[in-house]
Amino acid sequence: MTLFRQTSPNSARMEVLPEHESWKTWFQLYGPKLLLCARQWTRSLADAEDVVQEAFVRFWRHQRSLPGEPMALLVTSVRRAAFDLARREGRRIAREERVAADEPQAYFQIPVDGDDRRAAIEAALRRLPDEQREVLVLKIWGELTFEQIATELGLSANTAASRYRYALAALRQQMTLAECHG
């Protein structure tokens, strides 16, 4: 599975859906973004999927009629579910042992369509320090503001913004190095 799919910048923006839309429409829109966010706080794709399932079901049943931005609510729910999962130590270990066998297929599949640039970005992103990568992912693909990120991660907005800039700079540096080495 690849981490990203190429699309136009505008289509990545979150739309406000009418409330009568089915959960499938919502999940199609929010699911991929949530899964990417969840992968920042979990050890495997399987764990991330568990977390997204739990968070989305909770949101759809109990929280979607609440005022506020759905994505911010969902990200909070995902993060909480990820931490709950991590606390369930026994289950985590069992899951990791199971995932160890198929981890390459789940995480490191190289694109076969010649999209080297996308693969390079993905690889560079994975090499970022965790605290920078999570801010970058929440800002770019989670579409949260620095204030929302700060609230979510327990930081100041300035720290969140700094980490974001550091992440971009590190990403650029890594990609420049990768291009130099062919």
Partner 1 sequence: MDDELNSLESELRGLRPASVSRALSDRVSGALAAAPMRGANATVHWFWAGALPAAAAVVAVLLQLAPAKRGDSRSSTAVVASDVQLKPFAAENLLVSARDEGLVTLDDGTTARRERLRFVDTIVWKNPRTNASLTWTVPREEVRVVPVVFQ
Binding residues (CB under 8 A) for partner 1: these are: 1-9, 11-12, 18-20, 23-24, 27-28, 31-33, 35-36, 49, 52-53, 56-57, 60-67, 118, 121, 136, 140-141, 165, 168-169, 171-172, 175
Report the nearest approach of partner 1 to the CB of residue 28 (Å): 8
Question: What six digits make up the tokens of 58?
Answer: 């909770």
- Cβ neighbors of 59 (< 8 A, separation 6 or more) are 70, 73, 74, 77
CB 6 to partner 1: min, Å = 6
Smaller CB separation from partner 1, 102 or 154? 102
Rounded to a whole number of angstroms, the minimum distance from the CB of residue 13 to partner 1 is 9
Q: Closer CB to partner 1, residue 7 or residue 97?
A: 7
Tokens encoding 54: 């739990």
H or E segment and range at residue 146: helix 146-153
Spatial CA neighbour of 3 closest among 108, 92, 89, 95: 108
Residue nearer to partner 1 on the CB measure, 99 or 121 = 121
55 or 154: CB nearest partner 1: 55
Please provide residue 102's backbone torsions phi and psi, each rounded to the nearest 5 degrees. -110, 15
Tally of CB atoms within 10 A around 41? 20
